[in-house]
């Protein structure tokens, strides 16, 4: 990717980062968090509307969760309350203990139906691998006008 970008703009400043999952956050109660290890041996239902939903699902499985039901929508899908109610119902029918989504999707969820299973999103943080100094400079330019 670096080579491709530089071939189009040799002067481009490149900031490299990694997305690192940190914990599970309850979609309704921001004070309620679970360690990622709490998924080990658990049956979960996963819902997402991201470009590569298999990466999310495979990550859950790498934490030794069993994805018993999955629902995928096209990237940037706006959830309808009926879709979410159906997901909650099907997840419960499949034997899920938790309902899980991505952080990106959590912000687009409508009000959850009453009596749903515990519903969490995967909290992800960006870790800068290279280019922190340049990023700090850009932020200063944008925020402080330096």
Closest CA to 100 of 129, 125, 66: 66
Three-class secondary structure assignment of 50-79: CCCHHHHHHHHHHCCCEEEEEEECCCCCCC
Q: What is the mean pLDDT of residues 51-78?
A: 96
Which residues in the chain belong to E strands, given as ranges?
Answer: 16-26, 33-34, 43-48, 66-72, 98-102, 119-130
Domains, the chain, in order of start with CATH, read 23-143 (3.40.50)
Q: What is the mean pLDDT of residues 8-18?
A: 90
Least trusted range by pLDDT, from 39-43, 54-58, 113-117 = 113-117
pLDDT recorded at residue 95: 98
Share of the chain above pLDDT 90, in %: 75
C-alpha to C-alpha distance for 101 and 22, rounded to whole angstroms: 14
Q: What is the mean pLDDT of residues 22-28?
A: 95
pTM: 0.83
Residue 146, pLDDT > 70, answer no
User: Which residues, including other chains, have CB under 8 Å from residue 145's CB and lie 6 or more apart?
Assistant: none
- The CA-based diameter of the chain, rounded to the nearest angstrom, is 56
């Amino acid at each position: 990717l670096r080579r491709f970008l530089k071939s189009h703009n040799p002067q481009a400043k490149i900031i490299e980062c990694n997305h690192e999952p940190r914990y599970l956050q309850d979609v309704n109660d921001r004070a309620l968090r679970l360690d990622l290890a709490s998924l080990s041996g658990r049956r979960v239902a996963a819902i997402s509307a991201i470009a590569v939903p298999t990466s999310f699902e495979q990550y859950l499985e790498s934490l030794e969760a069993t994805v018993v039901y999955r629902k995928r929508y096209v990237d940037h899908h706006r959830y309808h309350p009926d879709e979410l109610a159906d997901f909650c119902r099907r997840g419960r029918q499949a034997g899920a203990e938790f309902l899980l989504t991505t952080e990106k999707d959590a912000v687009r969820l409508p009000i959850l139906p009453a009596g749903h299973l515990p519903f969490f999103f995967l909290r992800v943080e960006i870790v800068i691998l290279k280019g922190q100094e340049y990023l700090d400079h850009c932020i200063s330019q944008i925020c402080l006008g330096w």
